[in-house]
Amino acid sequence: MNVRKKSADPKGVLTGVHYLDGDYAIAEGALAAGCRFFAGYPITPSTETAERFAERIPMVGGVFIQMEDEIASVAALIGASWAGLKAMTVTSGPGFSLMMENIGLACMMEVPIVIADVQRGGPSTGLPTLTGQGDMQQVKWGSHGDYEIIALSPDSPQECFDLTIKAFNLSEMFRVPVFIMTDECVGHMHEKVVIPPAEEIEIVERKWYEGPKDKYLPYKPDVDLVPFMVKAGDGYRFHTTGLTHDERGYPVINAECQDWCVRHLCDKIRLNADKIIEYKEDETDNAEIVVVSYGITSRVAWKAIQDARKAGIKVGSLRLITIWPFPDKRIEELAGKIKAFVVPEINLGQIKREVERAAKGKVPVYPVSHCGGWVHNPDNILKVIKEAAK
């Protein structure tokens, strides 16, 4: 990868040990990562991130603007990103649905932006104040056409902070929207959050183009497939569009260019998946059963895993930190060694589907589904682990 790193700008870093909820930790992660533009619209249970950013940014130097809706919020982020700032917004289900249009534009224009989705129960207005994990497929497929994004899932306020920085770094590295897929529980959970000194926080700089002005091609892939970027006002007089386009960014409306353009958008993520994917494993080496979980559910599942181990079952844990791109390879490797997967999640099997796909039928995949409104009772997960181990 062609990556330039530096340490964080101390202006945005609130170094110290704090007691924060996940929503606040996202705002602090963004400020530490160098985010200086936030455009958002209030929606429960995500609003606290916007509130925190609005309170903090005047002393850091940057812009907070409450837009007229979530469509406008993402449009403003893309504009701000083209002007050279790191930009983010935060939302929940209904707002996330509205954002899909311009998420597609951000993918097509290859613009780095970060969006946090503090999930609540859906569909529609659903459960405004209660938790859910029902947007895990929407984040991947919600806008029309083929494209790839990156999505991360934190399980604690500390991870909300850490993964927001990671989200910005990945976003700059790959010129792609990156999503923090948290939920109401993690968003409103208060825990210890350690914010390190600025010099210990590694920040990825945007891939700025430095060649001759008249040779700049906004969509010419570099060796790592990610094109170089410039910003508005620097005299490149570039063009960018949501239409299918060539290396110059000019619209070309035919099947050949569509093939080049869309494969590029997908390949830059798919072929770099190994550099993106992160997960945490526990006792998967000799496991018979592996519990695949993410976000708040991984903390509930941990209790069930421990209980199962006490009952003599060899259970491993695969906690997904990167949800998209999906860790197909690791799932397939494990599938060759274990007896079954168990996938608890607060939806009706959205990630279970992916585990099944990646396991290629080698072993059964047991869902532990929950429609939202609360987290699982660990006993329900334990019951399924026991059934899978039979």
Partner 1 sequence: MKPEDRVEGRHPMEEFLRMDRMPHIWCSGCGIGIVVTSFIEALQKSGLDPNKVCVCSGIGCTGRVAGYVKLDSFHTTHGRPVPFATGLKLANPELKVVVFSGDGDIVGIGGNHFIHAARRNMDIVVICVNNFNYAMTGGQVAATTPIGANLSTAPYGNFEYPFNLPYLAEACGATYVARWTCLHIRRVTKSIQEALQKRGFSFIEVITPCVTLYARRNRLGDGLNLLRYYYENSEIRHGADTRTLDIGYQGKIIVGKFVDIEKPTFLDCMNNHLRKVLGDKYQPWGVKS
**Binding-site ranges for partner 1 (CB under 8 A):** 36-37, 39, 58-63, 65, 67-69, 71-73, 75-85, 87, 101-102, 104-105, 231-243, 250-251
The 8 Å CB, 24+ separation contacts for 205-210 are 205/4, 205/5, 205/6, 205/172, 206/84, 206/112, 206/172, 207/2, 207/4, 207/172, 207/173, 207/175, 209/236
Pick 84 or 349: Cβ nearer partner 1: 84
Cα 323 from chain centre = 7
SS3 87: strand
Pick 43 or 87: Cβ nearer partner 1: 87
Pick 85 or 176: Cβ nearer partner 1: 85
Pick 78 or 269: Cβ nearer partner 1: 78
Q: Provide, rounded to whole angstroms, the least separation between the CB of residue 246 and partner 1.
A: 11
Residue 320: which of 189, 181, 194 has the closest Cα?
181
CB 24 within 8 A of CB 52: yes
Pick 144 or 390: Cβ nearer partner 1: 144
Please report, as a single letter, which amino acid is at residue 209.
Answer: Y
The CA distances from residue 193 to 26, 159, 319, in Å, are 11, 9, 20
Q: Provide, rounded to whole angstroms, the least separation between the CB of residue 230 and partner 1.
A: 9
Q: Provide, rounded to whole angstroms, the least separation between the CB of residue 265 and partner 1.
A: 16
Find the length of the chain. 390
Q: Provide, rounded to whole angstroms, the least separation between the CB of residue 172 and partner 1.
A: 15
Pick 169 or 240: Cβ nearer partner 1: 240
- State the DSSP code for 325: S
Q: Provide, rounded to whole angstroms, the least separation between the CB of residue 226 and partner 1.
A: 20
Q: Provide, rounded to whole angstroms, the least separation between the CB of residue 216 and partner 1.
A: 12
Cα–Cα distance for residue pair 16/30, rounded to 1 Å: 16
CB 325 within 8 A of CB 273: yes
